[in-house]
Amino acid sequence: MKQTIDLLYNLQTLDDEIYDLVSDEEAIPQARLDQEAEVRGIEGKLKALKQESLDLAKRRKEKEVETDALGQKRTKFQSQLVQVKSNREYDALQHEIAGLAGQISDFEDAILEILERSEVISRQIAEEERSLKAANERLTQELALLDQKEEKLRGEIAAKSASRAKLIEGMDASLLVRYERIRDVKDGLAVATVQKGACGGCFRRIPPQEMQILRRNDRIMSCEGCGRILIWREEDARGAGEPGGEGQPGNQGR
């Protein structure tokens, strides 16, 4: 029976290791997305800056066309000044010319603002392009490391899965079914060791009489609190209430 109990313990330990490895493997796709997020963020910012640069260029062109049209109109009115016959017509033309000059000045100021903003955008675009290049280089390195990690994890999972298959070859079928059933409903923890006088799965205190039976390791026992298979291991059981040493970390459910 001691051999069967040891087998159960080893099976639980192996399943815990496989679970951790699989969890690490399943986390890799998200890790890839997280690594790519920086690049996507810079690309998005760069795209917005380039679009703003295009919009500014379009606005500048529109302002220049409007300024040119106003300038031509002002030139036309100025040429008419020598042709007017009365002071009233002369004053009216001067008023129109002054108004056009004011509009032209406003448009020139707007063009200057656009040019200044375009220079700022150009510098930002150059800076973001440098950042994107560096981020892509980092991404390439990080993805390569993740690929290596994934390959390593898959190899370890395969090796431990093979060890598991070998471990359960001679295991009693009904006991294996029991183990798997408990594991399914108890967050992966089917076998709990005694921890400081309590079940390592649910932390229920174990009565002295039950403890004596567990110590003998001559039968498969279940925790009356959580239903997990409960086993005694000297190195785990030491601690409060147990002579001979300090307590060890207990089995934890997921």
Per residue in 179-200, pLDDT tens? 999 999 999 999 999 998 999 9
pTM of the model: 0.71
Are 138 and 214 part of one and the same domain?
Answer: no
Instruction: Flag whether 96 is in a domain.
Output: yes
Q: What is the dihedral of CA 195, 199, 200, 204, to 10 degrees?
A: -110
Are 133 and 210 part of one and the same domain?
Answer: no
CATH number for 111: 1.10.287.1490
pLDDT at 241 over 50: no
Higher pLDDT, 178 or 235: 178
Are 184 and 154 part of one and the same domain?
Answer: no
Per residue in 195-237, pLDDT tens? 989 999 999 999 999 999 999 888 999 999 999 999 998 876 6
Tally the C-alpha atoms within 13 A of residue 109's C-alpha that lie toward its C-beta.
6
Are 110 and 215 part of one and the same domain?
Answer: no
* Structural domain of 230: 173-237
CA distance 110 to 116: 10
Are 32 and 91 part of one and the same domain?
Answer: yes
Per-residue pLDDT, averaged over 66-81, amounts to 94
Are 47 and 163 part of one and the same domain?
Answer: yes
| pLDDT value of position 254 | 55
Count of residues in the chain: 254
| pLDDT value of position 235 | 76
Are 32 and 111 part of one and the same domain?
Answer: yes
Are 195 and 74 part of one and the same domain?
Answer: no
pLDDT at 171 over 80: yes
CA distance 107 to 98: 14
Instruction: Flag whether 63 is in a domain.
Output: yes
Mean pLDDT for the chain? 91
Tell me the percentage of the chain whose pLDDT exceeds 90.
85
Going by C-beta distance under 8 Å and a sequence separation of 6 or more, which residues neighbour residue 11? 164, 167, 168, 171, 179, 191
Are 44 and 134 part of one and the same domain?
Answer: yes
CA distance 253 to 242: 23
Are 129 and 210 part of one and the same domain?
Answer: no
Are 209 and 157 part of one and the same domain?
Answer: no
Structural domains counted in the chain: 2
Instruction: Flag whether 73 is in a domain.
Output: yes
Nearest to 193 by CA among 126, 247, 142: 247
Cβ contacts of 84-93, under 8 Å, gap ≥ 24? none
Are 160 and 233 part of one and the same domain?
Answer: no
CA distance 173 to 120: 74
